[in-house]
Amino acid sequence: MKILAFFNNKGGVGKTSLAYHLAWMFSEKNIPTLAVDLDPQANLTTMFLDEQKLEEIWLDGGERTIYGSVAPLMSRVGDIAPPHIEPIAHNLWLIPGDLTLSRFEDLLSENWPKCLDSQEAAFRVTTAFFRAISIAAKQTKAELVLIDVGPNLGAINRSALIASDHVLLPLAPDLFSLQGLRNLGPTLKEWRKGWRKRYDEAPQRKDLELPNGSMTPIGYVVMQHSTRENRPVKAYQRWMEKIPEIYEDNFLDPPSSSQSTPDEYRLALLKNYRSLMPMAMENHKPMFSLKSSDGAIGSHIEAVKSCYRDFELLASRVSEKLKIPFTLSKRTLNVRGSYSKSTIIPTSLPGAFSLKKSTDGQYYFTLSRGNGETILSSELYKHKESAIAGIESVRKNSLRADAFEIKKASNGMFYFTLKAMNGQIIGQSQMYSSESHCMIGIQAVAASAFNSNLKDSTS
């Protein structure tokens, strides 16, 4: 069982929306998933449950929420109670959140230093969330647990993160978000270290299961809905370019010495799904499952399909990081025909074409993106004019939905080709370890080729 928390102390970046949609996606992919709402705002719970169910649960004295599970600790009468598990769908469960959970904050703060004195009661409080989750995961046989937390660095979140094996950071590409990242990385490191110190002091008790507290960051998701629409593209690009470095400096331990590709930790760039989101909330469904009866008609139909692909690809990247087997659907994999412009990252960093000469005097070109990574290479041309025509052809055809084709190499790796209208291959990618990485490569070519300038190094 893997536990993943969605964390950023900045509010409104999309933690809850991500947790909600990924929980649905993983459950659809036959991965038994338990969603846990540890945010006292309880937004995740209101996304999953309709008003009638909420009333039932919340007016029930809190017994059927996460608060009900930790309540015996609050009244100091004993240990946690097994948490209530709300079934949502096949392979999907929720431990509902509770506004009352904020009352637990003080008890957690009080007990954190007491762990250093090996006090068993202090460990029971500090690990309450982890142990409640562990009980629920065993009962449901969940393979994946997704935790949503509130936007702060308080004791509830420290305890939620200690319960987590992994952390995913949703963020907005703006100054405040990036400043926030600089505080977030060190905070995670401090919590991890603080827990290790306490872990070593813990009393050995069979009935006191302790988390590792590894809270390993698996990467970030850039959420475009949180950026101002009228902001100049340049400002947006500047922040986008800065994220990988800030992430590596603050979250990797030790910071990465080699330049990794931006895609290694950028798990996705999610667009603003606009009216799909309120429609999803109203229907208590993920955006990618909306039907015409929910109001998804006309242009929404294509948007729903594109949203499905976006979340399927994101889920596949997350499962890769968590080492959970995951298969992409044929409709996402089948680039030809199904790949549409709507999946293209709208404002990506422009790349550059380089025209080069091989040792035997022939010409070829490469397309690289902002960070210098080559994303497409041509074949060899005898004449320079033909190579330049090839570049023009790449520019034009990169905008065609069915010009890309994913292929499997004999060594099991994946690559894609870009074809002209007449079927001639005009570019080929590097090798990728997975189909989802390959799709991201396609997105990069599709988003940057048309606007990339040519650098001629042959004359």
Interface residues toward Mg ion, by CB under 5 A: 15-16, 43
| Residue 372 interacting entry, from ligand ATP, Mg ion, none, C-beta within 5 to 8 Å by type | none
Residues in binding contact with ligand ATP, number by CB under 6 A: 18
By CB under 6 A, residue 11 contacts ligand ATP: yes
User: Per-residue contact track with ligand ATP, 20 to 39, x per CB under 6 A?
Assistant: -------------------x
Nearer to ligand ATP, 149 or 391 (CB): 149
Nearer to ligand ATP, 17 or 393 (CB): 17
Among 272, 334, 451, 458, binds ligand ATP (CB under 6 A): 272
CA distance 37 to 46: 10
Among 12, 154, 194, 295, binds ligand ATP (CB under 6 A): 12
| Residue 68 interacting entry, from ligand ATP, Mg ion, none, C-beta within 5 to 8 Å by type | none
Nearer to ligand ATP, 91 or 177 (CB): 177
Site for ligand ATP in 90-109 (CB under 6 A): none
By CB under 6 A, residue 15 contacts ligand ATP: yes
Site for ligand ATP in 428-457 (CB under 6 A): none
Nearer to Mg ion, 38 or 279 (CB): 38
Q: How far is the CB of 307 from ligand ATP (least distance, A)?
A: 9
Nearer to ligand ATP, 104 or 381 (CB): 104
Site for ligand ATP in 126-155 (CB under 6 A): 150-151
Q: How far is the CB of 274 from ligand ATP (least distance, A)?
A: 6
Q: How far is the CB of 148 from ligand ATP (least distance, A)?
A: 7
Instruction: Compute φ and ψ for 7, nearest 5 degrees.
Output: -135, 135
Instruction: Name the token pair of 335.
Output: 């680039």
Among 66, 101, 160, 270, binds ligand ATP (CB under 6 A): 270
| Residue 17 interacting entry, from ligand ATP, Mg ion, none, C-beta within 5 to 8 Å by type | ligand ATP
| Residue 13 interacting entry, from ligand ATP, Mg ion, none, C-beta within 5 to 8 Å by type | ligand ATP
Nearer to Mg ion, 8 or 111 (CB): 8
Chain positions contacting ligand ATP, by CB under 6 A: 11-17, 39, 41, 43, 150-151, 223, 225, 270, 272-273, 277
